[in-house]
Amino acid sequence: MLAIGDTIVSLDVLTQEFLCNINHCKGICCVEGDSGAPITKEEAEIIENLLSELKPYLTKEALDVIDRQGVAYTDIEGEFVISIVNDKECVFTYKENGIWKCAIERLYTEGKINFKKPISCHLYPIRLKQYRKFMAVEYHKWEVCSHACVEGKRIKLPVYKFLKEPLIRRFGEAWYAELELTAKEYLKSDYAKNKANK
């Protein structure tokens, strides 16, 4: 782990390689899992205010869930997460040509709203965990993303470079510049080289 500001960054963020290809995975990360993606109370409020624009893209089942419990809920682990349908898919997903997509991101891309998507979705496969004195920035390995790992390795694209935009969105330009510098120094170190050769 490496300390950057008030964060502790997992070495996997620097050394693992990743390149998402939605045409291969079909957006399954928006469907699989035990609960919804983590979301902040502020993000939930933003999305609540965008529901009138989002509703035309959502399924009846998703709208029923939102009517019952809102856009987010507290899961069994006590984490505030996006509501899901049938204990699976995010309420904001829709299927197009066999691929699960995000209604929020679609409206953002079309210039209809100014909120791209919750930061936890934008940052995936990085997950954030807040501790008392620091925030952990960790790489989450998941079988459904195995092809993304293969693709990332093929073009030698580390996780932190793949996620440059959301990392800057969450932590700022100065934090990311320090991360890049730290990564460069770490990857030149004997420790990193020895670990890579094992």
User: How many angstroms separate the Cα of 114 from the Cα of each of 30, 39, 52, 83?
Assistant: 21, 17, 14, 21
User: How many angstroms separate the Cα of 187 from the Cα of each of 145, 154, 176?
Assistant: 24, 18, 16
pLDDT at 5 over 70: yes
Q: What is the mean pLDDT of residues 61-76?
A: 93
pTM score, two decimals?
0.88
Q: What is the pLDDT of residue 192?
A: 57
Q: Mean pLDDT score of the chain, rounded to an integer?
A: 90
The candidate with the shortest Cα–Cα distance to 137, out of 126, 121, 122, is 126
Residue 160 neighbours by CB under 8 Å, 6+ apart: 13, 14, 167, 179, 180, 183
Q: What is the mean pLDDT of residues 74-96?
A: 91
